[in-house]
Amino acid sequence: MGRGMMEGLMPYRDLFDQKGPFIFLIYGFSYTLCGSYWLVFVLEVFAVTASMIFCYKAALLFVSGKKAFIVSLLILYSMCSFHYYAGGGHPSEFILPFQFAAIYGVCRLYRDPDRFVRTGVVFGAGIGMAFC
């Protein structure tokens, strides 16, 4: 799909898949820039790292630092070990950081209700990007 888009084919007219266009643009740019899908792997590493950071920050609001780190490792391990992640490049891997940012925003609001506007922006941005 990504390579086809970069060669001028139109998604959902010439090519069809049930995923949104953003994942295909990532694949297309990776193929155009690197000649392979290596860039997708690099973006996946950044996405999983960002997910772990937001998960850690959310857990840190409720438990100690060591326990928060273990929780973030366990949650990400359990989410990224399903069979459909085996090939990589699944849209869920790129959505995780935005979902965890939204979860962190809600947890932060629970701990500090006076930061409603700032938390609403973080939550809205996280969920909004997850829908793209």
pLDDT at 85: 58
- Number of Cβ atoms within 10 Å of the Cβ of 98: 21
Question: What would the two tokens of residue 60 be?
Answer: 């840190």
pLDDT in tens, 5-38: 677 776 666 666 666 667 777 777 777 888 777 7
Q: In the chain, which residues have pLDDT < 70?
A: 1-5, 10-21, 80-89, 126, 130-132
Query: From start to end of the chain, where are the E strands?
Result: none
- Tell me the CA distances in angstroms from 12 to 9, 60, 73, 125, 130, one per residue in order: 9, 43, 37, 27, 21
Measured between its terminal Cα atoms, the distance across the chain in Å is 17
- Kindly tell me the burial class for residue 105, based on how many C-beta atoms sit within 10 Å of its own C-beta (0-12, 13-18, 19 or more): buried
pLDDT at 125: 75
pLDDT at 40: 80
